Amino acid sequence: MSIYNRFFGKRESDDRPDDLVAGPKQEDGPALQVLFADRFRLDPAAVAGAMREYHPSMAGARCDIAGGLNEEGKLFGLAGWGGHVIQLVGFDVPMPRDPVETCIAPSHYSQSLKAQARAHKGHVLLWYTGREGSPVEQYAALAAFAGVLHRFGALVVLNESAHTSFPAAALAAEDVENDRMELLRTLPLPALYCGFVKYHDPNDPRVWMRTFGAHVLGLPDFAAHTNGHQEGDRYFSMFDSILRYMLNSGKRLAAGHTMQLGARDYLRCRAPTKDEPWLESKGEMLVVQVIQADQINR
């Protein structure tokens, strides 16, 4: 019943049927990183108990952690429930500064929490290796577990591939009476599961806004050259709506496509040019422009 073998997806003859075993790790699959205020020691029984309290679907939750490493301030183990399995690797030292800053700087929460996150003392890396096929469900499972870790000192949850972060307390949703897992499934995608970043050239009054990490969802990233920072909420909602539409409908936009947006406005998509290096993406990138109905065929 070695946690090390099960972490790497290997069963042994004496494993119990309910022992957690990691499935194949997806290349560029969903992953999150959790920052802790202090150096941590996670008791697996306490973590499993907190998971079971988080949501009814987690009633059979398990958490297995290698004991010796845990005592040394390192974390190596698995957590899971139902068809979900999450690999855990942690260290009671800060994450490297550059990826932390890349994720914290563009995010929208208080400067005081950002300062606490920058001063974090430990971190845990989470990878989804369960049987659920939907990337949104995979992310929701990771976010739920990250919310559970808030009880043990988690401050902020990063998504390094998305260049974004989110307060762990918001994922814990301790004061929410509604279904917490449903809230995570319907969380605006650019809030955590893909990122929303602005680029501003001091010599240009306009502002580029784009998503990051949508390839993990099986979708293209989107960008727009907007009139200014005041349009941030509009484009955040617009990108979320487009991404949700593609997820729910199975339809894909491509360069040259148009789609209706509201009663009178439409969007036209194009590919980025070689003169727009800030639009580089791991997957496909589409630049959207708001047009009127009479511009569709121009």
Q: What is the pLDDT of residue 16?
A: 74
Q: Which of 16-30, 43-57, 106-120 has the lowest mean pLDDT?
A: 16-30
Of 187, 207, 229, the one marking the end of a domain is: 187
pLDDT digits (tens, 9 = 90+) for 110-167: 999 999 999 999 999 999 999 998 999 999 999 999 999 999 999 999 999 999 999 9
- Answer yes or no: do 164 and 199 share one domain: no
- Answer yes or no: do 155 and 204 share one domain: no
Which is more confident, 179 or 176? 179
Q: What is the pLDDT of residue 113?
A: 97
- Answer yes or no: do 74 and 222 share one domain: no
Q: Following DSSP, what letter does each residue of 5-25 receive, concatenated?
A: HHHTT---TT--TTS----PP
Q: What is the largest CA-CA distance in the chain?
A: 69
- Answer yes or no: do 260 and 120 share one domain: no
At 24, is the pLDDT very low, low, confident or very high (cuts 50, 70, 90)?
A: confident
- Answer yes or no: do 120 and 143 share one domain: yes
Please report how the helices 111-118 and 97-104 are oriented relative to each other, as an axis angle in degrees rounded to 10.
Answer: 170
Own/partner pairs, 12-18, CB within 8 angstroms, 24+ separation? 18/60, 18/62
Go through the chain and tell me how many residues it has: 298
Place of tokens 């929410």: 176
Question: Is pLDDT above 90 for 202?
Answer: no
What gap in Å lies between CA 203 and CA 162, rounded to an integer?
Answer: 27
Amino acid at 280: E
At 235, is the pLDDT very low, low, confident or very high (cuts 50, 70, 90)?
A: very high
What gap in Å lies between CA 165 and CA 105, rounded to an integer?
Answer: 9
Q: Which of 29-38, 68-77, 86-95 has the lowest mean pLDDT?
A: 68-77
- Answer yes or no: do 85 and 66 share one domain: yes
The beta strands (E) that lie in the chain are given as: 31-36, 62-65, 74-81, 84-91, 122-128, 154-159, 164-167, 195-200, 207-212, 221-226, 258-261, 265-270, 285-292
Question: Is pLDDT above 90 for 243?
Answer: yes
Of 130, 152, 187, the one marking the end of a domain is: 187
- Which of 237, 171, 223, 165 lies closest to 194, judged by CA? 165
Task: Write down the mean pLDDT value for the chain.
Answer: 91
Of 157, 187, 217, the one marking the end of a domain is: 187
At 70, is the pLDDT very low, low, confident or very high (cuts 50, 70, 90)?
A: low
Is residue 155 within 8 Å of 36, Cβ to Cβ? yes
- Answer yes or no: do 109 and 229 share one domain: no
Question: Is pLDDT above 90 for 246?
Answer: yes
Q: How many CB atoms lie within 10 A of CB 278?
A: 11
Question: Is pLDDT above 80 for 13?
Answer: no
Q: What is the pLDDT of residue 124?
A: 97
What gap in Å lies between CA 140 and CA 119, rounded to an integer?
Answer: 27
SS3 194: coil
Is residue 81 within 8 Å of 87, Cβ to Cβ? no
Place of tokens 């729910």: 248
Q: What is the pLDDT of residue 154?
A: 97
What is the layout of strands, in order, in the sheet containing 221-226? Answer: 195-200, 207-212, 221-226, 285-292, 265-270, 258-261
- Answer yes or no: do 181 and 237 share one domain: no
Which residues, in sequence order, are CB contacts of 21 under 8 Å at separation 6+? 6, 9, 10, 11, 15, 78, 85
Q: What is the pLDDT of residue 65?
A: 92
SS3 109: coil
- Answer yes or no: do 63 and 138 share one domain: yes
At 176, is the pLDDT very low, low, confident or very high (cuts 50, 70, 90)?
A: confident
Task: Name the domain count of the chain.
Answer: 2
Q: How much of the chain exceeds pLDDT 70, in percent?
A: 96
At 2, is the pLDDT very low, low, confident or very high (cuts 50, 70, 90)?
A: confident
- Answer yes or no: do 163 and 232 share one domain: no
- Answer yes or no: do 73 and 22 share one domain: yes
What gap in Å lies between CA 128 and CA 192, rounded to an integer?
Answer: 15
Q: What is the pTM of this model?
A: 0.94
- Answer yes or no: do 96 and 125 share one domain: yes
Owning domain of residue 244: 195-295
Is residue 197 within 8 Å of 260, Cβ to Cβ? no
Q: What is the pLDDT of residue 30?
A: 96
For residue 205, which phi and psi values (nearest 5 degrees)?
-70, -15
